[in-house]
């Protein structure tokens, strides 16, 4: 299986009374809370942490896109990936991803992803999220009733731009371009692997199946909720006649490793609570602009008992509020323990959810760099070896980058 | 049907019925063909035709406000796209698409050249039609229309609201508003009811996102119709002071009225008083 190291890049110095005094971490968070001098240190720590993970042999390193928030300081994940492309050699660069409907024209995504793919020697995983309502409809002002139409048009345009060997005109609903001709074009052919981060929408599952993309379920509510969602995903794959290749699916998991479970609880409780109480403190007003969720998805969610239970336990009760700390551990939102305990639980997660692309959050909340390094090193040296090879005898990972052979790759001066 | 003819045999819109008219005879329900779609038209009363374009959430059924208007006029209510019976709205992208869709509804419902009342988003469309096609509207009544934006006194973000906040945002009688407009009536499918509500809010968002300014200020001078601007005195969505901004831009004669004690949905909060203001102006 593949192990990817995912950074959300949270602002790590929100005040202790943030939840009490501020209505939202997103959209209209108090601008005065942002201190660029402190953020200078944060960004450089975060980049160190990602580079460190790549050096320790994680298969991929991940960044993503969010706007106007202290939950994740990456309005432009492509800037982060560009820095990483020059500072890493073998790890896949998983940009998870660009919110397609926010780019006008969307050929910007085709160009920048192609730049990253070419600079990195073909290591890019291209993530195509719709984006949260906070990012897309409120921070970037996209009309929620047009968001998905824009997303799908942008997707079609980018794919055509990457795969058409001639200049073409695009007469779309939202974009009209007389000359589409991105330079550069991606190194990977026909294009970098495409991963779709999504919630539990049946339409997204079908779309991933139809276009042969990875479906990545990014939830902060652990594998027990993930089971309900991934179960639905695999049932849908069965219905569509697709195989159960675990590399079709990605899953995100918080992990804290220490010598013992007690020590892990001691080390990781505070950053976990920081994440759930401050980073996820989103005003519910921004959660559901009309049109953001399709009518089919509303129907499916309300009518499916399994999904309804899952959604009720997560998005309504907890997603924009605070879970009890006992829930954070007992429901598996955060997996903490000794290396052996963590390895055993992650193996169980991977097998039960049938997920081959496992994304790990080893930095979360206000975790500082020394602890991030400790967590990452323990994981790389004592957890990862126990998971090596899982699924790989039986299944081919067709959704992984195909970089140039090392001998054919340019070596950045800083790495030479 | 001549203006003096009796309305067609009443047929109640059953499933979506929410509000209880004061003296419910029930309107005629017909549908008109526009392109490949059939669009619902509610109609009741005698006299000169008076078009009404619904506000936020549409008219799921006949309401006391429409009932009061129909005492003196032949009230004709074509559903707007995305509202109950209004047809598809997701094919409408540009403002021009919305204006054309509204013009087609007015023409098909027999309202070309008639007096026109528009509430909230329906007011935006009524104003746009009067600006784009002055000949299509005789006299105009705008009830708390969206369409202008002044950042010193911003229009509220009606979409960034928890469901529990919506009644008090729209109405000064929030408990009754919630019971009559936001809860499924007996016998209705609660899921489909909820979807219809969200759909009508989405339709408004599709037209107005993020706060309703689609450039109407540049076109107000094209409105030559005599225009009544009427606001609930306690409107929490579009500030009542916007009445003067609209009046200042419209070329035709304007009159500004306030309905005391009413919120954004003045048609719900004070149906009789609002209907009287409308009918007095159109006398």
Q: Does B211 touch chain A (CB under 8 A)?
A: no
User: What percentage of residues in chain A have a pLDDT greater than 90?
Assistant: 85
- Identify all chain B residues contacting A138, using CB atoms and an 8 Å cutoff: 160
CA B206 to CA B82: how far, in whole Å? 10
Asked if A144's CB is within 8 angstroms of B90's CB, the reply is no
Instruction: Quote the CA–CA distance of A214 and A330 in Å, as a whole number.
Output: 28
> Is a pLDDT exceeding 70 seen at residue B14?
no
Residue B44: partners with Cβ closer than 8 Å, 6 or more residues away: B7, B25, B26, B27, B28, B62, B66, B67, B70, B74, B75
Chain B: give the shortest CA distance to residue A313, in Å: 18
**Predicted confidence band at B20 (pLDDT cuts at 50, 70, 90)?**
very low
Record: contact A138-B194, CB cut-off 8 A: no
Show me where the domains of chain B are located: 29-281
Sole residue written with tokens 């831009």: B249
Chain B residues touching A294 at Cβ < 8 A: none
Query: From the list B90, B159, B191, which residue is nearest A299 (CB)?
Result: B191
Segment B194-207, tens digit of pLDDT: 999 999 999 999 99
Residues in B touching A150 (Cβ below 8 Å): none
**H-helix or E-strand spanning residue A21:** helix A18-21
CB contact A26 to B (< 8 Å): no
- In DSSP notation, A168-218 reads EEEE-SS-EEEEE--SS--SSSS---EEEEE-S-HHHHHHHHHHT-EEEE-
Name which of A285, A291, A303 is nearest B191 (Cβ-Cβ).
A303
Q: At residue B17, does pLDDT exceed 80?
A: no
Q: Judge: A284–B199 Cβ closer than 8 Å, yes or no.
A: no
Query: Number of folded domains in chain A?
Result: 1
In this complex, do B90 and A173 lie within 8 Å of one another by their Cβ atoms?
Answer: no
- The pairing of strands A334-337 and B114-119 is unpaired
Instruction: Identify the CA nearest to A123 among candidates A216, A193, A48.
Output: A193
Q: At what angle do helices B95-108 and B121-132 cross, to 10 degrees?
A: 90
Please compute the mean of the pLDDT values over residues A64-93 and round it to a whole number.
Answer: 98
Q: Going along B35-73, which residue ranges are E strands?
A: 37-44, 49-53
Distance CA A136, CA A303 (A): 27
Q: Is the pLDDT of residue B51 over 60?
A: yes
Q: Does residue A415 form part of some domain?
A: no
Share of residues in chain A with pLDDT > 70 (%): 95
Q: Report the sign of the C-alpha dihedral through residues A221, A227, A231, A237, in that order.
A: positive
According to DSSP, residue B164 is labeled: G
Residue B121 has pLDDT above 80, yes or no: yes
What is the β-pairing status of strands A60-63 and A92-95? parallel
pLDDT band at B253 (very low <50, low <70, confident <90, very high): very high
**What share of chain B in percent tops pLDDT 70?**
91
For residues B86, B24, B276, B140, the Cα torsion angle rounded to the nearest 10 degrees is 20
Is B205 in contact with A303 (Cβ distance < 8 A)?
no
B19-31: average pLDDT: 71
Q: Helices in chain B by DSSP H: which ranges? A: 64-69, 95-108, 121-132, 166-170, 174-177, 190-208, 242-249, 266-269, 271-281
Give me the mean pLDDT over the A30-48 stretch.
98
pLDDT digits (tens, 9 = 90+) for A96-153: 999 999 999 999 999 999 999 999 999 999 999 999 999 999 999 999 999 999 999 9
Dihedral over alpha carbons A348, A354, A359, A365 (to 10 degrees): -50
Alpha carbon of B202: minimum distance to chain A alpha carbons (Å):
5
Asked if pLDDT for residue A411 goes beyond 60, the answer is yes
Whether residue A287 is contained in a domain is answered as yes
Work out the number of other CB atoms within 10 angstroms of the CB of residue A394: 8
Cβ atoms of B64 and B271 within 8 Å: the answer is yes
Chain segment A285-332, per-residue pLDDT in tens: 999 999 999 998 888 777 765 555 555 544 444 445 556 777 788 888
Mean pLDDT of A35-45: 98
Q: Shortest Cα distance from A291 to chain B (angstroms)? A: 5
**A284 interface with B at CB cutoff 8 Å:** yes
Q: Can you give the pLDDT at residue A305?
A: 53
The pLDDT assigned to A311 comes to 53
Chain B residues whose CB is inside 8 A of the A289 CB are 159-160, 205
Q: What is the mean pLDDT of residues B66-75?
A: 98
Closest Cα in chain B, distance from residue A141 (Å): 7
Average pLDDT, stretch A345-367?
Answer: 97
Nearest chain B residue to A172 by CA distance is B93
End-to-end CA distance of chain A: 30
Percentage of residues in chain B having pLDDT higher than 90:
88
What angle (nearest 5°) sits at the alpha carbon of residue A94, between those of residues A89 and A99? Answer: 145
**pLDDT at residue A220 is higher than 90:** no
Residue B162, pLDDT score:
87
Contact in structure between A364 and A374 (CB atoms under 8 Å): no
Residue among B82, B121, B160 with most chain A CBs within 10 A, to mutate:
B160
β B114-119/B137-143 pair status = parallel
Q: Determine the longest span between alpha carbons in chain B, in angstroms.
A: 51
Distance from C-alpha of B262 to C-alpha of B273, rounded to nearest angstrom:
10
Do B199 and A295 make contact, defined as CB atoms within 8 angstroms?
yes
Chain A contact present for B91, CB below 8 A: no
- pLDDT score for B21: 46
Name the more confident of B18 and A388: A388
Measured CA distances, A268 to A265, A336, A347, B6, B158 (Å): 5, 8, 21, 76, 40
- At residue B12, does pLDDT exceed 60? no
CA A183-A89-A112 angle, to 5 degrees, is: 25
Q: How far is B133 from chain A (nearest CA, A)?
A: 26
Put simply, the answer to whether A145 touches B161 (Cβ < 8 Å) is: no
Residue of B nearest to A299 (CA): B191
Task: Give residue B2's pLDDT.
Answer: 39
Residue A304's pLDDT is what? 66
Q: Residue A137's domain is classified under what CATH number?
A: 3.20.20.30
CB proximity B96 to A under 8 Å: no
**What ipTM describes this predicted complex?**
0.92
Is A295 in Cβ contact with B206 (below 8 Å)? no
pLDDT at position B220, please? 98
- Which of A137, A291, A300 is the best mutation test for B, with the most CBs of B within 10 A? A291
Please name which of B93, B223, B236 lies closest in space to residue B158, comparing C-alpha atoms: B236
Q: Which residues in chain A have Cβ-Cβ distances shorter than 8 Å to B210?
A: 141, 143
Residue A414: is it exposed, middle or buried by C-beta count within 10 angstroms (0-12/13-18/19+)? exposed
State the residue range of the domain holding A348.
2-407
> In the predicted model, what is the mean pLDDT of residues A380-390?
97
| B210 closest CB neighbour out of A141, A291, A295 | A141
Average pLDDT along chain B: 92
Among A182-186, A228-232, B251-255, the minimum mean pLDDT is found in: A228-232
Q: What is the pLDDT of residue A323?
A: 67
Instruction: Say which CATH architecture domain B29-281 belongs to.
Output: 3-Layer(aba) Sandwich (3.40)
- Across the interface, of B90, B162, B202, the residue whose CB is closest to A285 is B162
Say what the pLDDT of residue B26 is: 87
Size of interface A-B (CB pairs under 8 A): 56
Q: Is B94 on the interface with A (CB under 8 A)?
A: no
Q: B206 touching A, CB under 8 A? A: yes
Number of helices and strands in chain A (H, E):
15, 11
Give the model confidence (pLDDT) of A185-213 as tens digits: 999 999 999 999 988 788 899 999 999 99
Instruction: Select the residue from A135, A145, A147 to test the B interface by mutation, using most B Cβ atoms within 10 A.
Output: A145
- Residue B60 · residue B21 · CB < 8 Å: no
Q: What is the CA radius of gyration of chain A?
A: 20
Does the distance separating the beta carbons of B191 and A145 come in below 8 Å? no
Q: Of B169, B197, B198, which to mutate for an interface test with A (greatest number of A Cβ within 10 Å)? A: B198
User: Concatenated DSSP letters for A311-358?
Assistant: HIIIIITTTTS---HHHHHHTTSEEEE-HHHHHHHHHHHHHHHT-SEE
CB contact under 8 A, A291 and B205: yes
Q: What average pLDDT does the segment A48-74 reach?
A: 98
Separation between Cα atoms, residue A197 and residue A95, nearest integer Å:
11
What pTM value is reported for the model? 0.93
């Amino acid at each position: 299986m593949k192990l990817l190291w995912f950074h959300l890049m949270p602002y790590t110095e929100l005040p202790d009374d943030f939840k009490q005094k501020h209505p939202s971490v997103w959209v209209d968070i108090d601008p005065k809370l942002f201190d660029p001098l402190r953020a200078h240190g944060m960004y450089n720590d975060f980049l160190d942490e990602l580079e460190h993970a790549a050096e320790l042999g994680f298969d991929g390193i991940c960044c993503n896109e969010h706007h106007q928030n202290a939950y994740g300081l990456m309005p432009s994940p492509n800037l982060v990936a560009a820095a990483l492309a020059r500072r890493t050699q073998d790890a896949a660069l998983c940009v998870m991803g660009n919110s397609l409907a926010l780019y006008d024209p969307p050929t910007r995504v085709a160009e920048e992803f192609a730049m990253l793919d070419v600079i990195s020697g073909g290591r890019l995983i291209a993530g195509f999220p719709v984006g949260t309502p906070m990012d897309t409809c409120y921070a970037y002002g996209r009309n929620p009733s047009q968001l998905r139409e824009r997303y799908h048009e942008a997707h079609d345009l980018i794919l055509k731009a990457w795969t058409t060997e001639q200049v073409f005109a695009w007469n779309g609903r939202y974009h009209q371009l007389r000359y589409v001709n991105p330079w550069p074009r991606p190194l990977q052919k026909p294009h970098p692997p495409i991963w779709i981060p999504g919630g539990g929408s049946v339409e997204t599952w079908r779309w991933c199946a139809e276009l042969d993309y990875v479906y990545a379920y990014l939830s902060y509510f652990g594998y027990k909720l993930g089971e309900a969602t991934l179960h639905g995903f695999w049932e849908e794959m069965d219905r569509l006649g697709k195989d159960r290749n675990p590399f079709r699916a990605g899953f995100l998991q918080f992990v804290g490793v220490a010598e013992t479970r007690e020590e892990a609880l001691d080390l990781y409780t505070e950053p976990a609570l920081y994440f759930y109480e401050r980073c996820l403190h989103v005003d519910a007003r921004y959660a559901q602009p009309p049109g953001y969720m399709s009518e089919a998805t509303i129907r499916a969610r309300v009518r499916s008992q399994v999904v309804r239970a899952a959604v009720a336990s997560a998005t309504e009760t907890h997603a924009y509020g605070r879970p009890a700390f006992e829930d954070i551990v007992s429901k598996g939102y955060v997996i903490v323990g000794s290396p052996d305990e963590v390895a055993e639980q992650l193996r169980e997660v991977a097998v039960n959810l049938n997920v081959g692309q496992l994304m790990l959050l080893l930095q979360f909340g206000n975790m500082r760099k020394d602890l991030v390094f400790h967590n990452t090193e323990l994981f790389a040296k004592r957890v990862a070896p126990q998971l090596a090879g899982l699924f790989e005898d039986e299944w081919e990972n067709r959704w992984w980058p195909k970089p140039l052979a090392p001998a054919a790759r340019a070596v950045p001066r800083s790495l030479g | 049907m001549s203006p003096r003819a009796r309305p067609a045999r009443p047929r109640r819109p059953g499933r979506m019925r929410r509000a209880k008219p004061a003296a419910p005879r029930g309107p005629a329900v017909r549908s008109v063909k526009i392109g490949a779609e059939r669009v619902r038209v509610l109609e009741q009363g005698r006299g000169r035709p008076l078009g009404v374009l619904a506000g936020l959430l549409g008219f799921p059924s006949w309401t006391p406000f429409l009932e009061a208007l129909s005492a003196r006029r032949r009230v004709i209510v074509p559903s707007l796209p995305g509202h109950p019976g209004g047809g598809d709205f997701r094919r409408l992208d540009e403002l021009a698409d919305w204006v054309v869709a509204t013009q087609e509804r007015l023409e098909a419902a027999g309202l070309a050249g008639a007096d026109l009342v528009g509430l909230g988003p329906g007011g935006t469309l009524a104003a746009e039609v009067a600006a784009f096609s002055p000949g299509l509207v005789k006299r105009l009544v705008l009830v708390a229309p969206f369409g202008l934006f002044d950042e010193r006194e911003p229009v509220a973000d009606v979409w960034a609201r928890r469901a529990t906040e919506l009644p008090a945002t729209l109405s000064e009688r929030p408990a009754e508003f919630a019971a009559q407009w936001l809860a499924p009536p007996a016998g209705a499918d609660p899921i489909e009811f909820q979807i219809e509500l969200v759909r009508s809010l989405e339709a408004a968002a599709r037209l107005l996102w993020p706060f309703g300014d689609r450039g109407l200020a540049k076109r107000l001078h094209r409105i030559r119709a005599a225009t009544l601007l009427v606001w609930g005195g306690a409107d929490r969505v579009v500030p009542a002071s916007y009445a003067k901004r609209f009046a200042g831009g419209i070329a035709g004669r304007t009159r500004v009225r306030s309905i005391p004690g009413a919120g954004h949905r003045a048609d719900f909060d004070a149906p009789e008083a609002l209907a009287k203001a409308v009918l007095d102006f159109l006398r």
